[in-house]
Structure 1
């Protein structure tokens, strides 16, 4: 199925050239961040704060313990180009995958013999949302998360999306083994993530929660 991006809002002809840095006169920081997501990336947002990104249109999300996510990304290794975006919020990590992957996850876990285990691995797809991480430094005209508060901490990009690049080709999917440009296919990603989720649960059950590892990968 081909995903057609939603139309982007036209540029305001009265806006100054400073729009390139998203420092639009009279614009609140949250508006600048929303502009970055909707116009630079073409992603749909939910009205209100904290700023949230709609899932199920351009991408779905695999939500896993951060410790398992870090280990899985190291195991999967570097990929050519920017790679599929990855976010983190508190002790959780969110891996962006192709739209429709959330519906595939239960059957895929069963097929991979992970179906009967509590892995603390969930998927967010159609009808869901992702709290928008703060744009990378120098993007969005704002250095922090937009209107976010809570015990989980602010969301941040571990591997940010690339403005001007359609996100779909970089996302793990079921459509083709190997994905585009060397991106791991969804089967490999899910199996790797499930393996490390299981290891984290076994380790925590035997030794108690461990300190979160630093995000040292490219």
Structure 2
């Protein structure tokens, strides 16, 4: 699959919707497509057209979790980096390189031995690109729960949770440690809830006692 590598362009003002294509649909390719918007606005590399994919491991990595666990974790940590939702899966964007740090971080947080529905996408990974904020997408398309920029970033750059600068933002943006711990907790809690809801196997009928 051919990769679309971003080339230097004059950036558009943050929040500018992509132009409408020849057929009148937002995000139409090749003119003014979603790929071009992501490249011009954020300098993110993309692949494919339908759907457009955002490549991880370059400008960001992604923590991918069940949507229910992700929503619960976000309520605990407050503000954070960009968040995308695709069906029942949520992608939380974090600083590039975080995927490599995740196994050691889970061990340090004592989550290592626990089976979690948590994966990290780094170099070579990709997530489905939602329509750029403010533009409609087809039914079932991914959506941004948190747009890929922050007023606290510089020049429209997303503020991504990372290991560096632990606690430096006064709780405004969660660092990677707080985010991973919250996500792991909610994934484990959801697993325990599912286990409790499973039907209990009936005990075998008591066997009559044999007397000589």
> Structure 2 length normalisation: TM-score?
0.76
Q: Counterpart in 1 of 2:8?
A: 8
Q: Secondary structure at the match of 2:68?
A: helix
Which position in structure 2 is the counterpart of 1:173? Answer: 162
Does 2:191 correspond to 1:201? yes
Aligned positions, number = 181
Report the secondary structure of 1:191's partner residue.
helix
**Offset from partner CA, 1:44-68 (integer Å, 9 cap, x none):** 1013432101100110000001000
RMSD after superposition: 2.6
Give the 4+ runs in structure 1 shifted more than 6 A. none
Shift of 1:158: 0.7
CA contact (8 A) 1:53 1:130 kept: yes
Contact 1:112 1:191 in 2 (8 A): yes
- Whether 2:98 is the aligned partner of 1:101: answer yes
Q: Cα distance, 1:166 vs. partner? A: 1.2
Paired residue secondary structure (2:101): helix
Q: Which runs of 5+ in 1 are unaligned?
A: 12-18, 209-218
Aligned-partner Cα distance in 2 for 1:26–1:91: 31
Following the alignment from structure 1 to structure 2, what is the Cα–Cα distance between the partners of residues 24 and 85?
Answer: 26
Structure 2 segments unaligned to the other structure (5+ residues): 199-212
Structure 1 pair 180–29 and aligned structure 2 pair: CA distance change class (3 A): farther
Q: Matches of residues 23-34 of structure 1 in structure 2 within 5 Å?
A: 23=20, 25=22, 29-31=28-30, 32-34=33-35
- Which structure would you say has the larger Rg? 2
CA–CA separation in structure 2 for the residues paired with 1:20 and 1:86: 19
Residue equivalent to 2:205: none
1:15-42 Cα offsets, whole Å, 9 max, x none, are: xxxx975125579714321111111221
Residue 76 (structure 1) aligns with: 77
Kindly report which structure 2 residues correspond to 1:1-218, keeping only aligned pairs within 5 A, or say none.
7-9=7-9, 21-23=18-20, 25=22, 29-31=28-30, 32-77=33-78, 79=79, 83-138=80-135, 143-144=136-137, 153-162=140-149, 165-167=156-158, 170-180=159-169, 182-207=172-197
The 3 A distance-change label for structure 1 pair 21 and 190 is: closer
Instruction: Report the TM-score when normalising by structure 1.
Output: 0.74
**Which structure carries more relative contact order (alpha carbon 8 Å, separation 6+)?**
1
Match of 2:209 in 1: none
d(CA) in 2 for partners of 1:127, 1:90 = 22
The separation in 2 between residues aligned to 1:50 and 1:123, in whole angstroms, is: 21
Between the aligned partners of 2:17 and 2:179, the Cα distance in structure 1 is 36
